[in-house]
Amino acid sequence: MLLSSTTPIRGVRSSRARTALNTVTLGTFEATPAARRYVDDVLTTGRLSYGPYSRRFESEFAAIHQSASAVVSSSGTAALQVALQAMKEVDGWADGDEVIVPAVTFVATANIVLHNNLRPVLVDVEPDFYGLEPAAFEAAITPRTRAVIPVHLFGQPCDMTAIMAIASRHGLRVLEDSCETMFARHAGRMCGSFGDAAAFSTYIAHLIVTGVGGLTTTSDADLAAITRSLINHGRDGIYISIDDTGSSRVEREMIVDRRFRFDRVGHSARITELEAALGVAALETWEEMVAIRRTHGAYLTARLSEVSDRIQIPARRPETDHSFMMFPLVLHDEPKRELVQHLESTGIETRDMLPILTQPVYRDGNLLDATPGRHPTAEWIDHSGFYVGCHQGLGAEQLEHLADTIIAWCRTAPLSR
């Protein structure tokens, strides 16, 4: 039977059955036969450190995202951290130089700037797509601005055409925070292929799930080499894994002499072959996974358009794919608390739409400027926005329960201010 764009596809239900049919979770994980086979191979061989599965995961992921290389690491945060640190090293940035960050993102985007002794400068986001607002980005550039970190939220890339044009005019580095977006194109190019480097996450509830993990993609050979060094304590690139033994006596002796040589202050941000094996297996079915998410997204979009006078549903950027990592929703003119509490009480998981401005850690203004009134769109999203799940593990009944619950609330709950 052919499915219309408003028909939810029943996802593969986990063997760990859900506690109730109407439980709508934010993410899912299913151990496919390939995943079990690859993990068993790792356990059988005993090769847990960086090896063939890690290299395969990197090369296949980089190819999909139109980049020359990928470097696997322990998290999306680590992938961001080392990419920015590599840029700072290559370009010789000074402590206190500025990096522009959107005012709606996970705290890690701002924190990795701070961890690199740089200053995050927040700018407002678009009211419809939630990405970095290009005009606000350009207005925030100062003589000390060195880079911008556009964040591809919820599965949809930013307006990279405009952002790259601005960055080029001002000679800025671009680090794409693509931790929430994979397998999505803007203007014919894959997310992560526009900037100098990009960071992706494979954490639980993300598009590709390895439990923990991240990848830094880049087509800049210097950034790739430094990034790989940084996740390995800053180690000399001549020796990254136990496979680096040399092809001649001279090379072998050189490697032995330099195994414990460290060229920079790095981190321990590696993962094991177990996570990489899960990543390799997930890449084998990514097209099917994204197709299901997009069908689920189309169903929820069509259903919730019935109450679009009260709640904003996701908009699609022109010439841009949406992978629907999550399904973001923003009430037009009221706080979200009553709706969120109602959804949670009916078995529907929610999360805030990544507030930065109200975080206690930034309240005193010493780390970044979150002055009230400076970022009105972000403030509205913080006040009224949240997201729900849209993943391939959701069945038709769960999607219907989600849509029915939101529609019923929007039609019956009194408007609050």
Q: How far is CA 210 from the centre of its chain?
A: 14
Residues 101-130: tens digit of each pLDDT:
999 999 999 999 999 999 999 999 999 999
CB 77 within 8 A of CB 114: no
pLDDT above 80 for 22: no
Average pLDDT over residues 320-341: 98
Average pLDDT over all residues of the chain: 94
Q: Which helix (H) or strand (E) holds 160?
A: helix 160-170
- pLDDT bracket for residue 247 (50, 70, 90): confident
At residue 79, the pLDDT reads 98
Asked whether 201 and 213 are in contact (CB, 8 A), the reply is yes
Q: What is the mean pLDDT of residues 121-149?
A: 98
15 has pLDDT over 60: no
Q: Would you state the pLDDT for residue 241?
A: 87
Largest pairwise CA distance in the chain = 79
Going from the C-alpha of 316 to that of each of 50, 293, 303, the distances in angstroms are 39, 14, 16
Q: According to the model, what pLDDT value does residue 21 have? A: 62
CB 166 within 8 A of CB 134: yes
Confidence of residue 255 (pLDDT cuts 50, 70, 90): confident
Whether the per-residue pLDDT at 228 is higher than 80: the answer is: yes
Distance of CA 292 to the CA centre of its chain: 19
Is a pLDDT exceeding 90 seen at residue 412?
Answer: yes
**Domains identified in the chain and CATH numbers:** 33-283 (3.40.640.10), 286-412 (3.90.1150.10)
What is the spatial distance between Cα 417 and Cα 415, in angstroms, rounded to a whole number? 7
pLDDT band at 245 (very low <50, low <70, confident <90, very high): confident
pTM score: 0.94
pLDDT in tens, 362-406: 999 999 999 999 999 999 999 999 999 999 999 999 999 999 999
- The reported pLDDT for the residue numbered 417 is 75
Question: How many CB atoms within 10 Å of residue 149?
Answer: 26
Answer whether 120's CB lies under 8 Å from 114's CB: yes
Neighbours of 23 (CB within 10 A): 16
pLDDT of the residue at 14: 39
The answer to whether residues 199 and 231 touch, using CB atoms and an 8 Å cutoff, is: no
Report, as an integer, the average pLDDT of 10-28.
Answer: 60
